[in-house]
């Protein structure tokens, strides 16, 4: 009989301690915060990348317009030269070595506004994306640009 009161006392104390833990745990906790984005859509106004934005915009615009021509099968010397001028050497070589094979010629495209997302500030990496408007429909383009020796160059396909 002496064991039963001890067991009841143990159970009662356990319940009280668990209830106190739950109550105090909820009381001191903050509401859950939404996850922070890994990449921001805009560089902070005082970012060290802000002064480089015009050069990035010009390089990205030239690369994307060249890529649109390359993607539909144009293999002219001018397209090859422009790809080599606006892409990192290894990325340009990869593109020229294995051109995309589109199932059909989607026609000429116009390029929508560029969107920038800082990937890293050290080394400077920025994701640049835009929508290509073709007669067959819109196509999302995204590439990573990196700063090399003072020049922004496309270095990889984006997501």
Most confident of 25-34, 57-66, 96-105: 57-66
- pTM: predicted TM-score of the whole model, two decimal places: 0.66
Span 28-43, pLDDT tens digits: 544 444 333 333 344 4
* Domain that residue 117 falls in: 50-157
Question: Could you give the number of structural domains in the chain?
Answer: 1
- 37 inside domain: no
Vertex 86 angle, CA 45 and 83, to 5°: 150
Answer whether residue 52 shows pLDDT above 60.
yes
Q: How confident is the model at residue 121 (pLDDT cuts 50, 70, 90)?
A: confident
Answer whether residue 154 shows pLDDT above 60.
yes
- 88 inside domain: yes
Contacts 24+ apart (CB under 8 A), 81-85: none
Report the C-alpha dihedral over residues 39, 45, 50, 53, rounded to 10 degrees.
Answer: 70
Give me the pLDDT at residue 95, please: 94
- 109 inside domain: yes
Answer whether residue 115 shows pLDDT above 90.
yes
- 39 inside domain: no
**What's the CATH code of the domain at 54?**
3.10.450
Largest Cα separation within the chain, whole Å, is 98
- 110 inside domain: yes
The β-bridge relationship of strands 137-148 and 151-157 is: antiparallel
Question: Three-state SS for 31?
Answer: coil
- 44 inside domain: no
- 98 inside domain: yes
Answer whether residue 157 shows pLDDT above 90.
yes
- 1 inside domain: no
Say if residue 92 is exposed, middle or buried (CB neighbours under 10 Å; 0-12, 13-18, 19+).
buried
Nearest to 86 by CA among 102, 69, 103: 69
């Amino acid at each position: 009989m002496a064991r039963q009161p001890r067991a009841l006392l143990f159970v009662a104390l356990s319940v009280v301690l668990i209830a106190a833990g739950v109550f105090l745990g909820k009381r001191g906790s903050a509401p859950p915060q939404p996850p922070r984005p890994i990449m921001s859509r805009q560089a902070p106004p005082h970012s060290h990348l802000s002064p480089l934005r015009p050069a990035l915009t010009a390089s990205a615009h030239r690369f994307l317009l060249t890529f649109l021509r390359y993607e539909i099968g144009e293999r002219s010397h001018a397209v090859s030269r422009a790809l080599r001028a606006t892409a990192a050497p290894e990325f340009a070589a990869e593109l020229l070595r294995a051109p995309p094979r589109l199932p059909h010629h989607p026609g000429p495209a116009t390029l929508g506004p560029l969107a920038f997302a800082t990937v890293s500030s050290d080394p400077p990496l920025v994701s640049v994306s835009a929508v290509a408007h073709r007669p067959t429909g819109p196509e999302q383009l995204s590439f990573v640009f990196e700063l090399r020796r003072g020049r922004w160059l496309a270095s990889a396909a984006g997501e």
